[in-house]
Amino acid sequence: MISVSAEMEETIKRISGRKGVKGVLVMNHAGQTIRTSMDPELTKQYALQYSPLVKQTQTTVSTLDEENDLTFLRIRTKKHEVMIAPSKLWVSGGVEDKCMGRHGLTKSILHA
Amino acid sequence: MISVSAEMEETIKRISGRKGVKGVLVMNHAGQTIRTSMDPELTKQYALQYSPLVKQTQTTVSTLDEENDLTFLRIRTKKHEVMIAPSKLWVSGGVEDKCMGRHGLTKSILHA
């Protein structure tokens, strides 16, 4: 298992324990799972689907303006909300029920 | 020019007049521009880049859960924020400077 800082372990634990949070997933840019609070199958599916989507979004942003960069991606669906914070090293994401207060989770993910 | 309701015309006018809003673009699902407040070249670029991204996001969501649907997409970048509300007929999007109050724009786009 790839090591992560104690601070990130703590953040993942805190976020995944929040009411309404269905899962937290940290991947590297190759889509490999670094940490997850979801079951293996769901983790595999989310990584498989969201890793290329994050890449395409980053490409979309930089194609329109080379000096611009994706900092946060929020995908609201009928059933829940997925929040993704790409950074140089990781891509951290959280899945939350729609009715929960999102801002808290957004802040947490941004500082994962 | 494809006709849209007077209400949508009014909404586009109102949103694009808001402080900090850099542009509003309404496309159909084929990526053709229905209305835009941006110049033709920027409109073409945004439609070209964001139309496939919206499709891939919709596919990502429905692949993970056939009964789920994308309702809103928010892409925050270093320079601005793009908010996209896909509906059965249109894909409505707004580009806003990051420092502006986003909630107002989000509400407006959702009801475009």
Which 3-state string (H, E, C) describes chain B?
Answer: CCCCCHHHHHHHHHHHHCCCEEEEEEEECCCCEEEECCCHHHHHHHHHHHHHHHHHHHHHHHHHCCCCCEEEEEEEECCEEEEEEECCCEEEEEEEECCCCHHHHHHHHHCC
Pick B75's closest partner by Cβ from A50, A70, A78: A70
Interface size A-B, in CB pairs within 8 Å, comes to: 72
Q: Indicate whether B27 pLDDT > 70.
A: yes
Residue-level pLDDT at A98: 64
Which region holds residue B28: left if phi is over 0, alpha if psi is between -120 and 50, else beta? Answer: beta
Interface contact A57-B53, CB threshold 8 A? yes
At residue A15, what are phi and psi to the nearest 5 degrees?
A: -65, -45
Residue-level pLDDT at A47: 92
Q: Indicate whether A73 pLDDT > 60.
A: yes
Pick B60's closest partner by Cβ from A49, A69, A79: A49
Three-state SS at A92: strand
CA distance B1 to chain A (A): 26
Q: Output the six-digit token pair for A29.
A: 């840019």
Q: Indicate whether A6 pLDDT > 90.
A: no
Using a pLDDT cut of 70, give the percent of chain B over it.
Answer: 84
Q: Which residues contact B12 (CB under 8 A, 6 or more apart)?
A: B24, B26, B35, B37, B112
What is the fold of B6-110?
Beta-Lactamase (3.30.450)
Residue-level pLDDT at A4: 75
Report in angstroms the alpha-carbon separations of A23 from A84, B10, B65, B94. 12, 40, 15, 29
Q: Indicate whether B15 pLDDT > 90.
A: no
B-side interface with A, Cβ within 8 Å? 45-46, 49-50, 52-53, 56-57, 60-61, 63-65, 67-79
Q: Which residue has the higher pLDDT, A41 or A88?
A: A41
> Per mean pLDDT, which range of A71-80, B28-37, B57-66, B83-92 is the poorest?
B83-92
Interface contact A60-B49, CB threshold 8 A? yes
Residue with tokens 């806003």: B96
Pick A74's closest partner by Cβ from B49, B60, B74: B74
Chain B, nearest residue to A50 by Cα: B60
Domain A18-110 grouped into CATH 3.10.129.10: no
Angle, vertex CA A52, rays to CA A69 and CA A35, nearest 5: 90
The rounded distance, in Å, linking the Cα atoms of A56 and A40 is 24
pLDDT single digits (tens) A10-69: 888 888 888 888 899 999 888 889 899 999 999 999 999 999 999 999 999 999 999 999
Q: Indicate whether B110 pLDDT > 60.
A: no
Interface contact A70-B52, CB threshold 8 A? no
Q: Which residue has the higher pLDDT, B31 or A41?
A: A41
Residue-level pLDDT at A111: 35
Residue-level pLDDT at A15: 85
Pick A49's closest partner by Cβ from B46, B63, B73: B63
Three-state SS at A76: strand
Q: Which residues of B touch A49 (CB under 8 A)?
A: 60, 63-64
* Model ipTM value: 0.83
Residue with tokens 């670094």: A34
The rounded distance, in Å, linking the Cα atoms of B35 and A2 is 48
The rounded distance, in Å, linking the Cα atoms of B76 and A70 is 6
- What is the separation of C-alpha A11 from the centre of its chain, rounded to a whole number of angstroms? 12
pLDDT single digits (tens) B56-100: 999 999 999 999 999 999 999 999 999 999 987 677 777 887 644
Q: Which residues of B touch A84 (CB under 8 A)?
A: none
Whether the Cβ atoms of residue B62 and residue B68 lie closer than 8 Å to each other = yes
